[in-house]
């Protein structure tokens, strides 16, 4: 990590949440399948949902309704009426079980403890809505590590737009060149590039079946504690 900052520690490290700190797919898939069942539709299952996550709750619901990563190819987007009903159901079901089956990835606690011990400011920049982000961080006992937490509804735009990263950097009194973004998807890499930040990536997360190496992050680590 230090080689990205001329041998020094970064001032600020921003983490994505889903697919980077937490494997949240089991709970997301349960909420999606309950939503689909309530609408009288076939359930999707964990494997398909794993390929759909990463762009926020609204996009996940739309993908579940169309049964595809992208609309098109004979799969029109759901009508506003159907989407609104489905989205409300999803939010209700996911709020009931946000972190029942989710788990931290190996090395997460060691990474956060180690970075904090070196005086590095930590933050979260996720497309996950704040109503789910806050209880998830609290449930895993991670909230105290983070000086700033921004979710998918904190600003008008989400990643890959850089606004979330730039806002977090400003709030922490850092600068893009002294900030490291850590994520698992091309959206994280694109947001970091647009913000002017170096970016590290993990290969185990959610990137729609595409190897994260194809996005050319500045650093690839197999576990987050390899950042230490």
The pair of structure tokens assigned to 52 is 């759909």
Beta strand ranges found along 106-191 (DSSP E)? 121-125, 146-150, 179-183
Asked if residue 214 belongs to a known ligand binding site, the reply is no
Q: Is residue 159 within 8 Å of 167, Cβ to Cβ?
A: no
Which residue among the candidates 9, 16, 33, 214 is catalytic per the annotation? 16
HSE-up of residue 173 (Cα within 13 Å, Cβ side):
3
Measured in residues, the chain has a length of 228
The pair of structure tokens assigned to 99 is 């972190």
Asked if residue 9 belongs to a known ligand binding site, the reply is no
Neighbours of 202 (CB within 10 A): 27
Q: Is residue 112 within 8 Å of 137, Cβ to Cβ?
A: no
Let me know if 16 is a catalytic residue: yes
Asked if residue 113 belongs to a known ligand binding site, the reply is no
Q: Is residue 146 within 8 Å of 50, Cβ to Cβ?
A: no
To the nearest 10°, report the CA torsion of 88, 162, 180, 17.
10
Give phi and psi for 123, each to the nearest 5.
-150, 170
Indicate the pairing of strand 103-104 with strand 22-23: antiparallel
Q: Which residues are annotated as a binding site for Mg(2+)?
A: 16, 18, 184
Q: Which residues are annotated as a binding site?
A: 16, 18, 184
Catalogue the active-site residues.
16
């Amino acid at each position: 990590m230090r080689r990205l900052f001329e041998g020094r520690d970064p001032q600020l490290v921003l983490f994505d949440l889903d697919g980077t700190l937490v494997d949240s797919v089991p709970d997301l898939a349960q909420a999606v399948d309950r939503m689909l069942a309530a609408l009288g539709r076939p359930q999707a299952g964990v494997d398909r949902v794993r390929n759909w996550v990463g762009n926020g709750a609204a996009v996940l619901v739309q993908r579940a309704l169309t049964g595809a990563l992208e609309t098109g190819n004979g799969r029109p987007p759901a009508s506003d009426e159907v989407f609104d009903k489905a989205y409300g159901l999803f939010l209700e079901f996911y709020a009931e079980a946000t972190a029942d089956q989710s788990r931290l990835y190996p090395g997460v606690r060691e990474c956060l403890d180690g970075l904090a011990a070196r005086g590095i400011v930590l933050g979260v920049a996720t497309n996950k809505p704040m109503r789910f982000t806050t209880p998830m961080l609290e449930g895993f006992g991670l909230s105290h590590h983070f000086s700033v937490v921004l979710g998918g509804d904190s600003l008008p735009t989400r990643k890959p737009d850089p606004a979330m990263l730039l806002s977090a950097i400003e709030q922490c009194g850092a600068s893009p060149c002294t900030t490291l973004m850590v994520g698992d998807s091309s959206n994280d890499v694109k947001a970091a590039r647009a913000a002017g930040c170096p970016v590290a990536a993990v290969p185990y997360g959610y990137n729609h079946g595409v190897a994260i190496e194809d996005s050319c992050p500045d650093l690839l680590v197999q576990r987050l504690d390899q950042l230490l």
